[in-house]
Amino acid sequence: MLELKANKDVLARGTIIDSKLDKGHGPMATVLIQRGTLNVGDPFICNNISGKVRAMMNERGQRIKTALPSDPVQVLGFDQVPQSSDIFAVVEDEKEIKRITSERQRLKREIDQKKISAQSLDSMSALIKEGTIKNLPIIIKGDVDGSIEALSEQLTKISNDEVGVQVIHKSVGMVSESDVLLAAASNAVIVGFHVQISSNAKLQAQQEGVDIRTYNVIYQAVEEITLALEGLLEPEEIEETLGKAVVQESFKIPKIGFIAGSKVLEGNIVRNGKARVIRDDEEIANGEITSLKHLKDDAKEIKEGFECGIGINDFSKFKEGDFIICYEIKSLKRKLKLN
């Protein structure tokens, strides 16, 4: 039988299988060593993050100085929290690490900015063309990858055909100044889960007007974001009938125009209220009540059973038997109906 063995005499290389921001130790990650031997003190690079192994712990939480292929070890010494599935690699030259990470960070910033610009332009195009699609850009920061993904999944579920959540960035770690600048550039809300906000980020957020919200329970985040999305929904407009009058005669008053001498059959007729004129079950006019009189006196409101004179802007052809419906339009805040 052919026995396959990982080479332990080369520079260590592995994969991040979990990561978090520990309050006591800072950024740390569980690395599955795939080749080579990892030692305390080794400089390493992990995607666009660098560091030096300060300490290692095995699966039993015991401190160790060396890790071999197939060993899962917790590594301390990252300058930022890495992402799951990132490649972890030891590098001999620390100067080379700084050059590589600096270049990778520059490329990442360029790519992120291009993504944000493209997403924003796409969103704006949709808004202009359809007038109904709205997105709430969100940046998610969390203590571990698992909670970030869970929160991201829950937030995307509260989208519907009119409004939605657009997660433009998500990563492990405290809310930083760069997160705030990213949010300011994309008009995003920052949602932090089990993380703190750096003092520089707080100051920058005040200057840029960026909204940062932190939570310890996922459902609280979902509730607040749902309310924010409901604020993006166009309000529902409903018509409420205020009163109904029947025209008994039509006459003209100098400087005012044609007036419908009427009797209020139901509810109230209100000056400056909206009105439609109905004749033979068809609407023949729709406007605003610009004149309302009781006898010779101006009135703000005429109640059921009373007679009055009604003037409607841009309409003069009243006939006996016409009905005048007085109404108002109310805007109601809508609740989010999920897909």
Range(s) for CATH 2.40.30.10 in the chain?
Answer: 13-91, 237-332
- Strand partners of residue 135: 164
**Torsion angles phi and psi, residue 157, rounded to 5:** -70, -20
The region of weakest confidence among 17-26, 99-108, 212-221, 235-244 is 99-108
| pLDDT band for position 262 (cuts 50, 70, 90) | very high
For β-strands 134-142 and 212-215, DSSP reports them as unpaired
Q: Is the pLDDT higher at 297 or at 235?
A: 297
- Residue 117 pLDDT > 70: no
Q: Which pair of structure tokens corresponds to residue 249? A: 């005669």
Taking phi first (over 0 means left), then psi (-120 to 50 degrees means alpha), and beta for anything else, what does residue 281 get? Answer: left
Q: Which CATH superfamily is domain 97-232 in?
A: Translation initiation factor IF- 2, domain 3 (3.40.50.10050)
* Residue linked to tokens 């406007």: 287
Neighbours of 3 (CB within 10 A): 4
Q: 6-15 pLDDT, tens per residue? A: 566 788 999 9
Question: What is the structure's pLDDT at 112?
Answer: 58
* Residue linked to tokens 């305390």: 40
Question: What is the structure's pLDDT at 214?
Answer: 92
Q: Which of 39, 179, 42, 167 is nearest to 109 (CA)?
A: 179
The region of weakest confidence among 142-156, 175-189, 294-308 is 175-189
- Residue 330 pLDDT > 80: yes
- Residue 231 pLDDT > 80: no
Range(s) for CATH 3.40.50.10050 in the chain?
Answer: 97-232
Question: What is the structure's pLDDT at 237?
Answer: 86
HSE value, Cβ hemisphere, 13 Å, CA-based, for 306: 17
The distance from CA 3 to its chain's CA centroid, rounded to whole angstroms, is: 54
- Residue 320 pLDDT > 90: yes
Question: What is the structure's pLDDT at 127?
Answer: 44
Helix (H) or strand (E) holding 308: strand 307-312
**Mean per-residue pLDDT of the chain:** 84
Q: Which of 217, 220, 263, 225 is nearest to 244 (CA)?
A: 263
Question: What is the structure's pLDDT at 303?
Answer: 96
Arithmetic mean of pLDDT, 105-127: 50
Q: 158-207 pLDDT, tens per residue? A: 877 777 788 889 999 889 888 888 888 888 889 999 999 988 888 888 88
Helix (H) or strand (E) holding 189: strand 189-193
Question: What is the structure's pLDDT at 273?
Answer: 95
Question: What is the structure's pLDDT at 68?
Answer: 92
Say which DSSP state 65 is in. S
**What is the model's pTM?**
0.47
Structural contact between residues 248 and 320, judged by C-beta atoms closer than 8 angstroms: yes
- Report d(CA 165, CA 225) in Å as an integer: 9
- Strand partners of residue 139: 169, 190
Question: What is the structure's pLDDT at 339?
Answer: 54
- Report d(CA 210, CA 214) in Å as an integer: 13
Q: Which CATH superfamily is domain 13-91 in?
A: Translation factors (2.40.30.10)
CATH hierarchy code of domain 237-332? 2.40.30.10
In the chain, the percentage of residues whose pLDDT exceeds 90 is 44
